[in-house]
Amino acid sequence: MRTIKLTIQFDGTLYHGWQTQSRDRTVQTTIRDSLARMFNKTVVLHGSGRTDAGVHALGQVAHFKIDSGMSLSSLQRGLNSLLPGDIVITAAEEADADFNARFSAVSRVYWYCIWNAPTPSPFFTRYAWHLNKPLDLAAMKQAAMSLVGEHDFSSFHFRARDEANPMREIKKISLRLMRKSLVLVEIEAGSFLRNMVRIIVGTLVQVGRGRLTPDSIEDILNRRDRRCAGPTAPAHGLFLKKVKY
């Protein structure tokens, strides 16, 4: 039995997120069905974690077990020819038998794109949150610093039902302005709570607009109350950039 590790890019616009659900079209189901067609048997595919509907990926990772002698390059080529154009396998590798896309991961890196210009861009409508008023990037960077490290992120957590531990450690946050109008927020953590990146970005944007001060972040963390943080930034600006092992 071989363990195969896949690295996956996808444009999430037309998908109800990564995870297989009852009836909706998801990325996991689409890849799993292509694997089943290729190997002519059921394949169980495990991703590094869920992504919300509309979120994209530059480096999602998944693994599956298979009893087949097919070469990795044939597997990758075959899979890409079966998959629709908005999902691409960028690497297929042999992994150790105990490799697990989710539990072996040591950290996840997300990118969030903001198109910050008076007029929108037709080329970023699917990939960035359009904000037409100028953002104070220096204030946003200062606010971001308060989030780095280990904290109780209850204020930055969409809690559908009771979940275990709200403690998470943010290893890094950076904000960069690219090509005049594109603000790129990069956040790395071991793992994230549900909607955590999008609520962080929504809150940093409130700072960038002057509606919150940079030093209010510490207070928002301490309150452990979702209502204290900013709105949830829209899904279409979010990219799972990389999963580290």
Residues contributing to the site for a second copy (CB under 8 A): 9-11, 56, 76, 80, 85-90, 119-123, 125, 127
Is 225 catalytic? The answer is no
By C-beta, is 110 or 127 nearer to a second copy?
127
- Least distance from C-beta 86 to a second copy, angstroms? 5
Q: In this structure, are residues 18 and 27 in contact, taking their beta carbons and an 8 Å threshold?
A: yes
- Least distance from C-beta 119 to a second copy, angstroms? 5
Question: Which of 11, 24, 52, 225 does the annotation list as catalytic?
Answer: 52
Contacts of 194 (CB under 8 A, 6+ apart): 157, 158, 159, 160, 163
Q: In this structure, are residues 192 and 102 in contact, taking their beta carbons and an 8 Å threshold?
A: no
By C-beta, is 87 or 200 nearer to a second copy?
87
Residue 114, CB half-sphere, CA atoms under 13 Å: how many?
25
Phi and psi at residue 113, to the nearest 5°: -105, 130
3-state helix, strand, coil split of the chain in percent (to 5) is: 25, 30, 40
Tokens 């960038």 found at = 208
By C-beta, is 21 or 90 nearer to a second copy?
90
Contacts of 90 (CB under 8 A, 6+ apart): 7, 8, 9, 59
By C-beta, is 87 or 199 nearer to a second copy?
87
By C-beta, is 69 or 85 nearer to a second copy?
85
Report the alpha-carbon distance of residue 138 to residue 132 in Å, rounded.
18
Length of the chain, in residues: 245
Which region, left, alpha or beta, applies to residue 79 given φ > 0 means left and ψ of -120 to 50 means alpha? alpha
Residues annotated as catalytic are 52
